[in-house]
């Protein structure tokens, strides 16, 4: 029998790719619910909606009434809806708090009254960025790291505060309210159609605009970039694995690289031969980030397959074509030095 799946926030970057992946499998009936505050009604969504397997519900799920449009008996719910992005935390921190907590609380209350079997909540490495900075915790970083907010009043931490609420909320409602729950913490997922407020689309835009010397913000900071198809597979495995109830998984790769390496590789792609110049990134950006994914490997059989260079090439090709086609980016793009990594 086919499984009924709801993707809340499913028109966004990761959600749309999970929906595509599920559509290719034999037995999933997929519903995407989104308010299109970030997800787009573009050709990729239209293509996904072709046929009988995927349907769309449009609504603002910060409103409890929006949940009346959903069914009550999904086998699986992927909870992806959220306001994301470092720029947003700095510009609209009060909205991050309002929207993300409302989405979490309303979804939990709806789950309490429904017969959904399993939920996956999407969290972030930002929840422990403060632990690395304040306490020098180990990198690569495993799931049991304590979560830290270094400065409770700083707008930057609003996103992490809401994701911590989500982790605690979903795990604890799940135990009391009769549904299973798994948390994934993503680590720098990237790929085509990821939006424009991220270091990789910024790079494409800046190289195409002919910036020279090319400024390298936070050159010695490290990240590990996870290509979207690997992130989707890890998420799917976390949802499907019978033993994953109540567990948290770090989803990413252990290929830790510097921002300088990332940028010079992108420069090679664009044929840039000019000089590079190091520049400071904005304060509060974590110096090192790399997940330990041993738990996901062992318990889920998660094996990232796309090396960062290959993923970068695929992503830059997409953005190059996008910008060269004259299409408008659907978000404000590069504003130095708010580099969102």
The structure tokens listed for 162 are 């809401």
Q: 140 preceded by cis ω (within 30°)?
A: yes
Number of chain positions touching ligand NAD (CB under 6 A)? 28
Q: Which residues contact 297 (CB under 8 A, 6 or more apart)?
A: 303
Q: Provide the mask over 103-142, with x wherever binding to ligand NAD is found by CB under 6 A and - wherever it is not.
A: x------------------x-x------------------
Q: Least CB distance from residue 263 to ligand NAD, whole Å? A: 18
Nearest alpha-carbon partner for 6 in 96, 66, 50, 84: 66
The residue among 39 and 93 lying less far from ligand NAD, judged by its C-beta, is 39
**Other beta carbons less than 10 A from residue 132's beta carbon:** 20
Q: Least CB distance from residue 275 to ligand NAD, whole Å? A: 30
- Which of 7, 9, 29, 224 binds ligand NAD (CB under 6 A)? It is 9
Bridge partners for 227 per DSSP: 190
Q: Which stretch binds ligand NAD (CB under 6 A): 43-51, 181-189, 202-210, 309-317?
A: 181-189
> Can you say how many angstroms the Cα of residue 98 is from the centroid of all Cα atoms in its chain?
19
Q: What DSSP string runs through 303-316?
A: ---S-HHHHHHHHH
Q: Which stretch binds ligand NAD (CB under 6 A): 21-29, 33-41, 175-183, 289-297?
A: 33-41
CA distances from 278 to 63, 210, 260 (A): 45, 17, 9
Tell me which residue has its CB nearest to ligand NAD.
12
Q: Give the Cα separation of 174 and 151 in Å (integer).
A: 30
**Strand 28-34 relative to strand 54-58, pairing:** parallel
- Which of 5, 6, 7, 14 binds ligand NAD (CB under 6 A)? It is 14
Q: Least CB distance from residue 235 to ligand NAD, whole Å? A: 9
Q: Judged by CB under 6 A, does residue 282 bind ligand NAD? A: no
Structural element, H or E, at residue 294: helix 294-300
- Which of 6, 29, 30, 39 binds ligand NAD (CB under 6 A)? It is 39
Q: Least CB distance from residue 269 to ligand NAD, whole Å? A: 21
Q: Judged by CB under 6 A, does residue 36 bind ligand NAD? A: yes
Residues of this chain that interact with ligand NAD (CB under 6 A) are 9, 11-15, 34-39, 60-62, 80-84, 99, 103, 122, 124, 186, 188-189, 195
């Amino acid at each position: 029998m086919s499984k009924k799946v709801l993707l809340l926030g499913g028109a966004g970057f990761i959600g749309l790719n999970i929906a595509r992946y599920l559509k290719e499998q034999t037995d999933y009936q997929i519903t995407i619910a989104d308010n299109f505050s970030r997800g787009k009604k573009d050709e990729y969504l239209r293509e996904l909606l072709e046929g009988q397997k995927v349907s769309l519900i449009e609504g603002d799920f910060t409103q409890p009434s929006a949940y009346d449009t959903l069914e009550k008996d999904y086998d699986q719910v992927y909870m992806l809806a959220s306001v994301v992005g470092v720029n947003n935390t700095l510009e609209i921190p009060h909205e991050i708090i309002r929207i993300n907590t409302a989405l979490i609380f309303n979804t939990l209350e709806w789950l309490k009254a429904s017969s959904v079997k399993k939920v996956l909540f999407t969290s972030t490495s930002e929840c422990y960025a403060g632990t690395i900075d304040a306490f020098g915790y180990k990198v690569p970083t495993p799931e049991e790291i304590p979560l830290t907010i270094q400065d409770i009043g700083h707008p930057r931490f609003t996103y992490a505060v809401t994701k911590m609420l989500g982790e605690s909320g979903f795990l604890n409602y799940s135990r009391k309210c009769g549904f299973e729950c798994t948390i994934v913490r993503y680590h720098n997922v990237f790929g085509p159609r990821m939006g424009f407020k991220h270091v990789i689309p910024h790079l494409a835009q800046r190289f195409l605009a002919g910036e020279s010397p090319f400024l390298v913000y936070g050159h010695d900071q490290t990240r590990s970039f996870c290509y979207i198809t690997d992130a989707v597979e890890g998420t799917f495995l976390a949802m499907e694995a019978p033993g994953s109830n109540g567990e948290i998984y770090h989803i990413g790769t252990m290929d830790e690289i510097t921002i300088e390496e990332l940028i010079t590789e992108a420069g090679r792609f664009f044929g840039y031969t000019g000089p590079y110049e190091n520049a400071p990134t904005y304060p509060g950006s974590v110096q090192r980030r790399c997940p330990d994914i041993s738990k996901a490997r062992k318990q889920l059989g998660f094996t990232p397959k796309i090396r960062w260079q290959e993923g970068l090439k695929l992503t830059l090709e997409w953005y190059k074509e996008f910008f060269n086609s004259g299409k408008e980016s659907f978000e404000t793009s590069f504003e130095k030095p708010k580099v969102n990594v």
